[in-house]
Amino acid sequence: MSKLSCKILGTTFSNPIWLGSGTISDNKERVDKLLKSKAGAIIPRTTRFKYAPGRKAHPSYHLDINIDEKWIRNCEWTGNLINYWQSYLKELSKSKKIIMSVSGRDISNCLKVCKIIDKYNFPFIEINISCAHSNEINGFITRNSKHISTLVKILKKNIKTPIALKLGHSDFIVSLAKIAEESGIDAIVAINTYGPVIDFDISTGCPKLTLGIGNGKGGLSGKTIFHIALTDVVDLSQNLNIPIIACGGITKPEDAIKMIMAGASAVQIYSAVHLAGRQGIKFLNKFILDFNTWLDKYKYEDINDLKGMLLPLLSRPHHMGPIIPKYNQRLCIQCQACVNICLEGAISLLDNKIVINKNKCISCGACVSVCPTKALK
Ligand SMILES: Cc1cc2nc3c(=O)[nH]c(=O)nc-3n(C[C@H](O)[C@H](O)[C@H](O)COP(=O)(O)O)c2cc1C
* 375 within some domain: no
Residues 280 and 342 in one domain: no
Q: Which domain-ending residue is among 279, 295, 313?
A: 313
* 207 within some domain: yes
Residues 80 and 27 in one domain: yes
User: Which CATH number belongs to the domain containing residue 43 in this structure?
Assistant: 3.20.20.70
Residues 307 and 363 in one domain: no
**CB count in 10 Å sphere of residue 286:** 14
Residues 37 and 153 in one domain: yes
The alpha-carbon radius of gyration of the chain (Å, integer) is 23
Residue nearest to atom 14 of ligand 1 (CA): 22
- Determine whether the shortest distance from the Cβ of 168 to ligand 1 is under 6 A: no
Examine the pLDDT at 267 and tell me if it is beyond 80: yes
Tell me the C-alpha distance between 362 and 17, whole Å: 41
Residues 28 and 140 in one domain: yes
3-state secondary structure of 13: strand
Residues 273 and 158 in one domain: yes
- Quote the ligand 1 centre to 256 CA distance (angstroms): 16
pLDDT value at residue 315: 81
Residues 214 and 299 in one domain: yes
Residues 307 and 327 in one domain: no
Residues 222 and 363 in one domain: no
Tell me the C-alpha distance between 135 and 343, whole Å: 43
Give 94-121 pLDDT, tens digit per residue. Answer: 999 999 999 999 999 999 999 999 999 9
Q: Which residue, 126, 122, 119, is CA-closest to 95?
A: 122
Count up the domains in the chain and report the number: 2
* 376 within some domain: no
**CB count in 10 Å sphere of residue 250:** 30
Sign of the torsion angle spanned by Cα atoms 12, 16, 20, 24:
negative
User: Which CATH number belongs to the domain containing residue 348 in this structure?
Assistant: 3.30.70.20
Give 53-94 pLDDT, tens digit per residue. Answer: 777 777 777 889 999 999 999 988 778 999 999 999 999 999
Is-catalytic flag, 110?
A: no
Q: Which residue, 64, 314, 317, is CA-closest to 210?
A: 64
Which residue of the set 6, 114, 131, 247 is catalytic? 131
Percent of the chain with pLDDT over 90: 82
- Quote the ligand 1 centre to 191 CA distance (angstroms): 9
* 377 within some domain: no
Residues 276 and 347 in one domain: no
More confident of the two residues 134 and 244: 244
- Quote the ligand 1 centre to 271 CA distance (angstroms): 7
Q: Which residue, 338, 330, 328, 349, is CA-closest to 372?
A: 338
Tell me the C-alpha distance between 377 and 366, whole Å: 11
Q: Which domain-ending residue is among 267, 290, 313?
A: 313
Burial of 38 (0-12, 13-18, 19+ CB in 10 A): middle
* 127 within some domain: yes
* 269 within some domain: yes
Structural domain harbouring 126: 6-313
- Determine the residue of 270, 273, 274, 284 to mutate for testing ligand 1's pocket, defined as the one with the most ligand atoms within 8 A of the Cβ atom: 270
Q: Do residues 52 and 110 make contact, with C-beta atoms less than 8 angstroms apart?
A: no
DSSP 45-106: PPB-SSPPTT-SS--SS-EEEETTTTEEEE-------HHHHGGGHHHHHHTS-B--EEE-SS
- Quote the ligand 1 centre to 192 CA distance (angstroms): 6
pTM (two decimals): 0.94
Give 40-56 pLDDT, tens digit per residue. Answer: 999 999 999 998 877 77
Residues 309 and 323 in one domain: no
Q: Which domain-ending residue is among 279, 296, 313?
A: 313
Q: Do residues 174 and 234 make contact, with C-beta atoms less than 8 angstroms apart?
A: no
Q: Do residues 266 and 246 make contact, with C-beta atoms less than 8 angstroms apart?
A: yes
Residues 229 and 296 in one domain: yes
Examine the pLDDT at 136 and tell me if it is beyond 80: no
Residue nearest to atom 22 of ligand 1 (CA): 248
Q: Do residues 18 and 315 make contact, with C-beta atoms less than 8 angstroms apart?
A: no
Q: Do residues 201 and 207 make contact, with C-beta atoms less than 8 angstroms apart?
A: yes
Tell me the C-alpha distance between 340 and 233, whole Å: 34
- Strand pairing category for 101-103 and 71-74: unpaired
Give 199-239 pLDDT, tens digit per residue. Answer: 888 888 877 656 656 678 889 999 999 999 999 999 999 99
- Supply the mean pLDDT for the chain: 94
- Taking residues 148-162, what's their average pLDDT? 98
Spell out where 228-326 has E strands: 244-247, 266-269
- Give the model's confidence band at 135: pLDDT under 50 very low, under 70 low, under 90 confident, else very high: confident
**CB count in 10 Å sphere of residue 220:** 25
- Give the model's confidence band at 240: pLDDT under 50 very low, under 70 low, under 90 confident, else very high: very high
